[in-house]
Chains A and B, each alone.
Chain A
Amino acid sequence: MSQPTGAPGARRPPVPGAAAGPVAAGVDAAPAPGHRPLSRAEAWLLAPAPAARLAMLRVLVGAYATVWALARLPAHVAHTGQPAERWQPVGVLAPLGAPPPDAVVVGAALTAPVLALLVAVGWRHRVVTPAAAVVVLGLATLDSSWGQVFHTENLMVLHLGILASAPAAADALAVGRRAGGAGAAPAPDARYGWPLRLAALVVVLTYLVTGLAKVRFGGLDWLDGDTLRHIVAHDNLRKALLGDAHSPVGPALVAHAWLFAPLAVATLVVELGAWVALLGGRWRTAWVVTAWIFHAGVLALMAIVFAYPLSGVAFAPFFRLERLRPSARPRRRRPPAARRPCWGRARRARAGG
């Protein structure tokens, strides 16, 4: 399930109190046994990982945030035209009695894609990533401060916040760091491992909270399928009445009431079963695939795009991301004979060589 990812064949001496096992492979390295639950949790959290793995998460989250900020730029600027009486602030904007000044909104909207791009390339990470996290948090909160909280960007904002809190996230794959230079490839370390583990844990927690909310508000009735059927039908109806595009699939399936009980059960299994992703290996992969299919189903039935999980970036902390680097792909050296053109061999054969 896990394997060392440092120098080939290198073995490290155990360090007391640390994850003395192999380098954390996403979340699939077994934590070192500890005597107390807290020390076990700490050992799990502080499992070492390669610098490139954390850096690749930074690249992916930064790239996603760049695309998000560019795609949402017109909508962010359009907040300046909203009547103040619709202002219903949440989160960090909750203390504001009125929408932020237009100049601040436009400035943040224009700055966000630039900052997010700088996060992706790792430029001045310790300053830029916290700034990007704050600006993106502000914009995403602004989106949710007009009467409806959107839940599609929560994980992106949380992951950016985690990266902003991880000073080592630009120790690799960053502008100004030359590959192959002295100290350019730091050894696997806990400082690269804990942000990955935390990012994965946050993903799991959000799904668990979502599942708990369904059980809490809907109770066991949620499992009979009627609630989900009505939700799908109502969501598409609302979109149609308010002039938006709606799913052609959802309304077509509503006629088949029997489908919704298994879909409801599957939904709760994905959400309440998210913790299995922390087991690593096949459990992790199975959950990630199932969760992705779940979001694809939401898209098909209700035309709701959870772009962060659908893009795969939400699930990135669970995997050995350093393998995504082009330079990480092993070069295959064919034996000399195999590299000769076939016509060369034929010519030698004719010459008896």
Chain B
Amino acid sequence: MPHRAASTLGGMDRRERRWAVLVSAVAVVAVALPGIRTLASPGAPDGFPLSTYPMFTRDPGREVDQPTVVAVSPGGDVERLSPGTIAGTDQVIQAGVAVRRAVAGGPAAAARLCAEVAGRVAAPATVAVVVERHDVVAWSAGDREPLDRRTVADCEARG
């Protein structure tokens, strides 16, 4: 085996060199392409792991509508449910997407989600699929009551 102490490219044959350049070119173009597509069209879809990185780019505004699912106890207390209870996931954003899609899907889809969540609620309560409107700045300052709460579907959890 030849000694390679003096090599820089000396250890690489032509095939290895081509491979390195090819892999690098493909990787660079693949990672950069979503960015170029974003420049050309703001509607370019996101992907993984080649992403347009659209998170935190747009202003959601000061007042936002946030769909969620809550449990209302017989005493009238509103309890927030976890992403696992809402959508069987540990990811809060995916739980939010599941609720948003159910709300957008109309009363039947919201009722299906409601029944699914009710099956995961441990105590007797009324489960409600709601859309809450909040002033995000006021909420951050401690005003936790929504400006508006609209119930899209509700159902009973037997616990």
Listed in ascending order, the chain A residues whose CB lies under 8 Å from chain B are: 6-7, 10, 12-15, 17-20, 42, 45-48, 74-75, 78, 81-83, 86, 90-91, 94, 137, 140-141, 143-144, 146-151, 153-155, 157-158, 161-162, 165, 183, 186-191, 194-195, 197-198, 201-202, 205-206, 208-210, 212-214, 216-218, 221-222, 226-231, 233-234, 236-244, 250-252, 254-255
Question: How far does the alpha carbon of A123 sit from the alpha carbon of B50 in the complex, in Å?
Answer: 28
Q: B31 — which chain A residues lie within 8 A by C-beta?
A: 158, 202, 205-206, 209
- Contact with B7, one of A15, A86, A147, A227 (Cβ below 8 angstroms): A15
Question: How far does the alpha carbon of A249 sit from the alpha carbon of B99 in the complex, in Å?
Answer: 27
B7-18 interface code vs A (CB 8 A; 1 in, 0 out): 111111000110
Q: B62 — which chain A residues lie within 8 A by C-beta?
A: 230
A-B contact pairs, 28 of them (CB 8 A): A18-B8, A47-B8, A48-B8, A78-B88, A86-B98, A90-B48, A91-B50, A94-B47, A141-B49, A146-B91, A146-B94, A148-B93, A151-B53, A153-B49, A190-B20, A195-B20, A206-B53, A208-B32, A209-B51, A217-B38, A217-B58, A230-B62, A233-B137, A237-B136, A242-B99, A251-B140, A252-B140, A255-B141
- Tell me whether B88 and A237 are in contact (CB under 8 A): no
Listed in ascending order, the chain B residues whose CB lies under 8 Å from chain A are: 1, 4-12, 16-17, 19-21, 23-24, 27-28, 31-32, 34-35, 38-39, 42, 46-62, 64, 66, 68, 80-83, 85-99, 101, 116, 132, 134, 136-137, 139-141, 144
Q: B4 — which chain A residues lie within 8 A by C-beta?
A: 186-187, 189
Q: Which residue of B lies closest to A141 (CB)?
A: B48
- Contact with B60, one of A191, A195, A231 (Cβ below 8 angstroms): A231
- Contact with A237, one of B28, B82, B116, B134 (Cβ below 8 angstroms): B134
Q: A149 — which chain B residues lie within 8 A by C-beta?
A: 46-48, 51
- Tell me whether B8 and A189 are in contact (CB under 8 A): yes
- Tell me whether B11 and A191 are in contact (CB under 8 A): yes
Tell me whether A209 and B136 are in contact in the complex, defined as CB-CB below 8 angstroms, given that A91-B50, A198-B24, A231-B56 are known contacts. no
Tell me whether A190 and B11 are in contact in the complex, defined as CB-CB below 8 angstroms, given that A227-B58, A230-B136, A233-B139 are known contacts. yes
- Tell me whether B42 and A216 are in contact (CB under 8 A): yes
- Tell me whether A250 and B140 are in contact (CB under 8 A): yes
Question: How far does the alpha carbon of A349 sit from the alpha carbon of B48 in the complex, in Å?
Answer: 74
- From B8, B11, B32, B101, name the one whose CB has the most chain A CB atoms within 10 angstroms: B8
- Tell me whether B5 and A7 are in contact (CB under 8 A): yes
Question: How far does the alpha carbon of A228 sit from the alpha carbon of B57 in the complex, in Å?
Answer: 9
Q: A243 — which chain B residues lie within 8 A by C-beta?
A: 80-83, 85-86, 92
Question: How far does the alpha carbon of A285 sit from the alpha carbon of B75 in the complex, in Å?
Answer: 58
Q: A252 — which chain B residues lie within 8 A by C-beta?
A: 140
- Tell me whether A218 and B57 are in contact (CB under 8 A): yes
- Tell me whether A230 and B60 are in contact (CB under 8 A): yes
Question: How far does the alpha carbon of A155 sit from the alpha carbon of B49 in the complex, in Å?
Answer: 8
- Tell me whether B80 and A189 are in contact (CB under 8 A): no
B92 to chain A: closest CB distance in Å? 4
A86 to chain B: closest CB distance in Å? 6
Tell me whether A15 and B10 are in contact in the complex, defined as CB-CB below 8 angstroms, given that A209-B52, A213-B38, A213-B57 are known contacts. yes
- Tell me whether B64 and A158 are in contact (CB under 8 A): no
Question: How far does the alpha carbon of A213 sit from the alpha carbon of B58 in the complex, in Å?
Answer: 9
Question: How far does the alpha carbon of A210 sit from the alpha carbon of B122 in the complex, in Å?
Answer: 42
- Tell me whether A45 and B21 are in contact (CB under 8 A): yes
Q: B19 — which chain A residues lie within 8 A by C-beta?
A: 165
- Tell me whether B12 and A191 are in contact (CB under 8 A): yes
B145 to chain A: closest CB distance in Å? 12
* Extra inter-chain contacts (4) besides given A149-B51, A205-B32, CB under 8 Å: A12-B7, A216-B57, A229-B137, A239-B92
Question: How far does the alpha carbon of A216 sit from the alpha carbon of B88 in the complex, in Å?
Answer: 35
Question: How far does the alpha carbon of A191 sit from the alpha carbon of B88 in the complex, in Å?
Answer: 46
B115 to chain A: closest CB distance in Å? 12
- Contact with B59, one of A83, A141, A189, A221 (Cβ below 8 angstroms): A221
Question: How far does the alpha carbon of A240 sit from the alpha carbon of B136 in the complex, in Å?
Answer: 12
